[in-house]
Amino acid sequence: MFDTGDTAFILICAFLVFIMTLGISFFYGGMVRRKNVGDTMLLCTSVAGLISVLWIVVGYSLVFGSGFSVDGVANAVLGGLDKCFLTGVTIDTAWGTIPEFVWALYQGMFALITVAIISGAIVERMRFSSFLVFIGAWMLIVYCPLAHMVWGGGWIDSVLGAHDFAGGDVVHISSGVSALVLAMILGPRFGNGRLNYQPHNVPFVLLGTLFLWLGWFGFNAGSAGAANGQAGLAFATTNTAAAAAMLAWMACEKLATGKVTLFGACSGAVAGLVAVTPSAGYVDVWASLVIGALVAVVCYFAVSKLKPRMGYDDALDAFGVHGVGGMVGTVLTGVFANPVLGGFAGLLYGDPMQVVRQLGSVLFVVVWAGGLTFVIAKAVERVGHGLRVSHDQEEVGLDMATHGEPSYPAYQGMDLH
């Protein structure tokens, strides 16, 4: 028998996670130049179509199927093909206390936002068609195995013993590292390091941040799988970490530049949301405050110091916020995990080896996502028309050069650089 309260709760959470795709569209769209805002928002939005279809066709089965199991032992890397097109999922099949259809929908929303994050590193220079081919392959080859290894009974959770409540490894580290690798393969935008790429619409960034913050409640609280105390805990830790990180980022800005910016406050909030994701249902609320404050300092350093020093063009800081923030949060899960809350102990509660396990999962995901991203990108580059637009197209802007659709017709031709 289904629990109607749990079912309604996860349906609402699925809706909230879907809103995150809208949020990241505005968040990223506001950060680029006017001539590229439409292309950037379409990169984020298009995943709602492509990934939704792929998830139903084969993605859900690769993560939560059991076709590749042997003698009842779940495969360590992939679930199987027995649930392609949601075969065997009916109105009567359950996942815990909710209909399996609801669980499949909810998990599909995670896949959407994960691939959308990657676009932040490659905006203003990657071919739209090549991006679609890349993210389709990436979702099947990188994301689905990772999701199975963490949430589908695979080896990261069941063998390694590392835990990821809502997506530190699966969502943020995988997308952030992949974004960095893809950005390095593409090379920097023309003028990077010479031109000052200011966000063209900071109110868009704020709007996107608020949508992301709202959606993150469904992202983290819904990962409890039911309307229960752990969901309430995840809700509280999510908000607390975001708030603490926002304040800490603002403090870093004030100390470094003498000024506090709305853009920086938004970046800090997102960093806090990222960092608390792997631990949201496992740590005390006070610990989420510490996690938020710490990650803001680390991510601020990564964005303001590490990126210019290393010279890579992570255009919208997909790696600097999601990749780095996910790593910090995943490791700190091994420090602050309270066994009374999540069923396993971290360093502060008597198990220092949990830090090692969490760090092991981070290193594995970096190698897995980074290595496979390189292979996929090179394959797409070889069989298609390349990954990058021409210099002339980049100068004109991808809104017109790729789509023939200026986002701000009144400004057309006024901001080519």
Q: What is the pLDDT of residue 70?
A: 60
Question: Per 3-state DSSP, what percentage of the chain is helix, strand, and coil (rounded to 5)?
Answer: 70, 0, 25
Q: What is the pLDDT of residue 68?
A: 74
User: Quick check: is 78 in a domain?
Assistant: yes
Other CB atoms within 10 Å distance of the CB of residue 8: 13
The CATH number that applies at residue 336 is: 1.10.3430.10
pLDDT for 155-188, tens place per residue?
999 999 999 999 999 999 999 999 999 999 999 9
Q: Residue 230 in contact with residue 257, Cβ under 8 Å? A: no
Using alpha carbons, select from 14, 222, 16 the residue that is nearest to residue 101. Answer: 14
pLDDT for 291-321, tens place per residue?
999 999 999 999 999 999 999 999 999 999 9
User: Quick check: is 416 in a domain?
Assistant: no
User: Quick check: is 142 in a domain?
Assistant: yes
Q: Does residue 72 surpass a pLDDT of 70?
A: no
pLDDT for 264-274, tens place per residue?
999 999 999 99
Phi and psi torsions of 234, nearest 5°: -60, -35
Domain that holds residue 86: 4-407
Using alpha carbons, select from 139, 120, 122 the residue that is nearest to residue 53. Answer: 139
How far is residue 274 from each of residues 46, 59, 171, 328, measured CA to CA in Å?
Answer: 23, 23, 9, 9
Q: Considering Cα of 104, then 79, then 20, then 399, what sign does the dihedral take?
A: negative
Tokens representing residue 395 in the block: 């100068």
User: Quick check: is 415 in a domain?
Assistant: no
The rounded distance, in Å, linking the Cα atoms of 267 and 275 is 12
DSSP 8-state assignment for residue 78: -
User: Quick check: is 223 in a domain?
Assistant: yes
Side chain identity at 308, as an amino acid letter? P
User: Quick check: is 217 in a domain?
Assistant: yes
Q: Which residues contact 340 (CB under 8 A, 6 or more apart)?
A: none
Using alpha carbons, select from 382, 372, 381, 365 the residue that is nearest to residue 138. Answer: 372
Partners of 98 in the β-ladder: 95
User: Quick check: is 352 in a domain?
Assistant: yes
Q: What is the pLDDT of residue 232?
A: 98
Other CB atoms within 10 Å distance of the CB of residue 196: 6
Count of structural domains within the chain: 1
Residue 414 pLDDT class (50, 70, 90 cuts): low
Share of the chain above pLDDT 70, in %: 97
pLDDT for 360-402, tens place per residue?
999 999 999 999 999 999 999 999 789 999 999 999 999 999 9
Residue 191 pLDDT class (50, 70, 90 cuts): confident
Where do we find the tokens 């974004």?
179
Alpha helices in 260-352 (DSSP H): 262-276, 285-301, 307-310, 324-336, 339-342
Instruction: Count Cβ neighbours within 10 Å for each residue of 22-46 and write b for 16 or more, e otherwise.
Output: bbbbbbbbbbbbbbbbbbbbbbbbb
Mean pLDDT (the chain, rounded): 95
Using alpha carbons, select from 134, 161, 191, 167 the residue that is nearest to residue 63. Answer: 167
pLDDT for 323-361, tens place per residue?
999 999 999 999 999 999 999 999 999 999 999 999 999
User: Quick check: is 414 in a domain?
Assistant: no
Q: What is the pLDDT of residue 18?
A: 97
Q: How far is CA 314 from the centre of its chain?
A: 15
HSE toward the beta carbon, residue 104, CA cutoff 13 A: 27
Angle (CA) 381 383 387, round 5°: 25
Q: What is the pLDDT of residue 71?
A: 57
